[in-house]
């Protein structure tokens, strides 16, 4: 059986040797053999983030101490720019330590670091490393983001949005923008009509981040953009967290009949007792007098270690109908890395346009 792929293995012997070779080709004084020996010492035991840091730190040991000189060497050693409008595959990950090197060694060399960040993002992404500059120089770096938002290269334009997301996953949180997203919104205003979906997706993701702290600001922004004929997909993608929360204003903005009465009947579970590893199946019927657009979700209230229940929303259907309509669903309850299951009483709700219309209890046995 083939071994399971681990993300940390994007930093592998082949890619690191290729990086060393490209630097050596650019700068003949580079001691590539010692660099590789230092990197690979205990390398197999390191995690993804530890491998990234190890490579970045080792670059600092074997490149010139002067950051500007080291940065120019790295820029000259970079490979071809990404030809496509999306990040695909794993080969570009080898440039992640180059961006990390800039963030660790180049914080006091803003202008040169911005040049290196821009070049790296055209081959991978600098969305993680640029955040250290946003922390230290929020105003100055956002001025740079405003310039990048008009760059001819779409990877650079995407960085202008993705890099300043207040809650970018797997990265440091930008608390200044969590508190006040107005500088971020200035960047998004420029990018909202970008011709690349790749960039518009980042705008939507950024707004989704902002909506977790400032839902009213995001809804107000999207209402205005809607009048300017912004891509409807962007609006829906930006509001996905608010949809799950049942935010009426967000749902109404996208045409859902939030004020329309709807009844749920005949809600049934296939079993009131479920064993871990099995599935919970259910069915129900909705009835409404007039035609309307409805977002139909189900909510599983999972038991936590303290015995309290925590809700998780799952999508079931987005549909328009009048009269009666039957629905059914199936939810697998199996071990996953992101959730610990406990034996006990659980709840499942049916949620329509953000409102709970039915609820049933079931027991999970471990």
- CATH number where 212 lies: 1.25.40.290
Tens of pLDDT, residues 229-286: 999 999 999 999 999 999 999 999 999 999 999 999 999 999 999 999 999 999 999 9
In-domain check, residue 258 = no
Same domain membership, residue 120 and residue 92: yes
Same domain membership, residue 281 and residue 138: no
Same domain membership, residue 293 and residue 153: no
Tens of pLDDT, residues 25-62: 999 999 999 999 999 999 999 999 999 999 999 999 99
Same domain membership, residue 249 and residue 293: no
In-domain check, residue 116 = yes
Same domain membership, residue 87 and residue 62: yes
247 alpha-carbon distance from chain centroid: 21
pLDDT for 6: 81
Q: What is the mean pLDDT of residues 111-140?
A: 97
Same domain membership, residue 230 and residue 89: yes
pLDDT for 89: 57
Residue 46 dihedral angles phi and psi, to the nearest 5°? -85, 150
SS (H, E, C) the chain: CCCCCCHHHHCCHHHHHHHHHHHHHHCCCCCHHHHHHHHHCCHHHCCHHHHHHHHHHHHHHHCCCCHHHHHHHHHHHCCCCCCCCCCCCCHHHHHHHHHHHHHHHCCCCHHHHHHHHHHHHCCCCCCCCHHHHHHHCHHHHHHHHHHHCCCCCHHHHHHHHHCCCCCCCCCCCCHHHHHCCHHHHHHHHHHCCCCCHHHHHHHHHHHHHHHCCCHHHHHHHHHHHHHCCCCHHHHHHHCHHHHHCCCHHHHHHCCCCCCCCCEEEEEEECCCEEECCCEEEEEEEEEEEEEEEEEEEEEEEEECCCCCEEEEEEEEEEEEEEEEEEEEEEEECCCECCECCCCEEEEEEEEECCEEEEEEEEEEEC
Place of tokens 């990040």: 87
Same domain membership, residue 300 and residue 203: no
Q: Is pLDDT above 50 for 2?
A: no
Same domain membership, residue 359 and residue 294: yes
- With beta carbons less than 8 A apart as the criterion, state whether 363 and 272 touch: yes
Q: Which of 253, 273, 303 is the C-terminal boundary of a domain?
A: 253
Same domain membership, residue 186 and residue 85: yes
Same domain membership, residue 321 and residue 248: no
Measured distance CA(325)–CA(352) in Å, rounded? 13
Q: Which of 206, 224, 253 is the C-terminal boundary of a domain?
A: 253
Same domain membership, residue 274 and residue 229: no
In-domain check, residue 178 = yes
In-domain check, residue 324 = yes
In-domain check, residue 1 = no
In-domain check, residue 322 = yes
Measured distance CA(42)–CA(32) in Å, rounded? 18
Q: Which domain range does residue 140 map to? A: 7-253
Same domain membership, residue 286 and residue 230: no
Handedness of CA 220, 226, 230, 235 (dihedral sign): positive
Measured distance CA(51)–CA(177) in Å, rounded? 29
In-domain check, residue 303 = yes
Give the residue with greater pLDDT, 92 vs 211.
211
- With beta carbons less than 8 A apart as the criterion, state whether 322 and 269 touch: no
pLDDT for 335: 87
Instruction: Provide the b/e sequence for 127-141 (b: ≥16 CB within 10 Å).
Output: bbbbbbbbbeeeeeb
How many separate domains does the chain show? 2
- CATH number where 340 lies: 2.60.40.10
Measured distance CA(239)–CA(254) in Å, rounded? 9
Q: Which of 253, 281, 299 is the C-terminal boundary of a domain?
A: 253
In-domain check, residue 242 = yes
pLDDT for 79: 87
């Amino acid at each position: 059986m083939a071994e399971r792929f681990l993300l940390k293995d994007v930093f592998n012997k082949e890619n690191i040797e290729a990086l060393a070779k490209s630097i050596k080709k650019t700068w003949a004084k580079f001691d590539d053999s010692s660099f590789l020996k230092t990197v690979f010492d205990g390398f197999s035991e390191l995690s993804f983030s530890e491998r990234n840091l190890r490579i970045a730190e080792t670059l600092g040991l074997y490149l010139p101490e002067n950051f500007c000189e080291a940065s120019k060497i790295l820029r000259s050693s970079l490979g071809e720019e990404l030809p496509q409008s999306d990040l695909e595959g794993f080969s570009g990950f080898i440039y992640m330590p180059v961006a990390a090197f800039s963030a660790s060694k180049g914080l006091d060399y803003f202008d040169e670091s911005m040049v290196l960040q821009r070049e790296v993002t055209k081959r991978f992404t600098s969305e993680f490393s640029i955040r250290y500059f946003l922390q230290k120089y929020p105003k100055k770096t956002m001025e740079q983001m405003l310039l990048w938002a008009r760059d001819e290269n779409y990877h650079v334009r995407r960085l202008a949005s993705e890099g300043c997301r207040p809650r970018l996953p797997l990265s440091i949180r930008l608390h200044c923008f969590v508190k006040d997203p107005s500088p971020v919104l200035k960047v998004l205003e420029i990018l909202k009509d970008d011709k690349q979906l790749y960039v518009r997706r980042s705008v939507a993701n950024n707004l989704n981040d902002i909506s977790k702290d400032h839902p009213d600001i995001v809804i107000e922004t999207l209402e205005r953009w809607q009048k300017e004929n912004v891509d409807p997909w962007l609006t829906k993608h930006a509001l996905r967290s608010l949809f799950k929360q049942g935010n009426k204003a967000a749902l109404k903005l996208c045409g859902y009949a939030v004020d329309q009465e709807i009844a749920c009947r005949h809600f049934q579970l296939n079993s009131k007792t479920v064993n871990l590893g099995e599935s919970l199946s259910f069915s129900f019927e909705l009835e409404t007098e007039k035609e309307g657009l409805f977002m139909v979700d189900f909510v599983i209230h999972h038991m936590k270690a303290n015995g309290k229940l925590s809700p998780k929303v799952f999508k079931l259907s987005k549909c328009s109908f009048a009269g009666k309509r039957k629905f059914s669903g199936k939810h697998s309850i199996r071990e996953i890395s992101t959730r610990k299951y406990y034996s006990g009483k659980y709840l499942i709700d049916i949620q329509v346009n953000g409102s709970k219309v039915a609820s049933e209890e079931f027991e999970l046995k471990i």
